[in-house]
Amino acid sequence: MFQISTRLRYGLRALTYLSTNEGSGTVSLHEIAEKEGISRKYLENIFKLLKKNKITRSVRGREGGYALIKKPEDIGLYEIAAALEGPVSLLDCIDAESLCENSSECGVRSFWADYQEYVKKYMLNITLAQVIDRYYNKK
């Protein structure tokens, strides 16, 4: 079964919280962990990847924490997924035919390739701001 990873789910929740609570400064991992019910240790790993991929920045010190580098409307869901999981790829053989000896005769490979492209396009067209907007409009 195709599933979204816990890392991506938690990462998106943390970014949603961060972007709606950073105000004039930063938000600590302790606060995000507490409010979102996510292990701080797990968040540390997520934020290392987000920082490495230039989605967040960190500030040290007493008033330290994390902040977004760009506005939520300039951060795409695909960018977040790629930062946390690598390129969106449903099957290895779609991106590298040589990994499967049956790829040239496979009757369903093109179906999976189309599905992967659909998922990628969808993710490229959704921003963090839209995720936040959908969340808050449901409440």
pLDDT in tens, 105-117: 777 878 888 888 9
Question: Quick one: what percent of the chain has pLDDT higher than 70?
Answer: 88
Kindly report, residue by residue over 51-102, the tens digit of the pLDDT. Answer: 999 999 998 888 789 999 999 999 999 999 999 998 878 777 777 766 666 6
Mean pLDDT in the chain? 87
Q: Which residue has the higher pLDDT, 5 or 89?
A: 5
pTM across the whole model: 0.85
For residue 99, the domain's CATH number is 1.10.10.10
- What is the pairing mode between strands 65-68 and 56-59? antiparallel
Domain count, the chain: 1
**Does residue 77 lie in a domain region?**
yes
pLDDT of the residue at 6: 94
The answer as to whether 1 is a domain residue is: no
pLDDT at 1: 46
Calpha distance 83→51 (Å, rounded): 9
Its sign, for the CA torsion 50, 53, 59, 60, is: positive
Report if residue 92 sits inside a domain.
yes
The whole domain housing 37 covers 6-138
Let me know if residue 35 belongs to a domain. Answer: yes
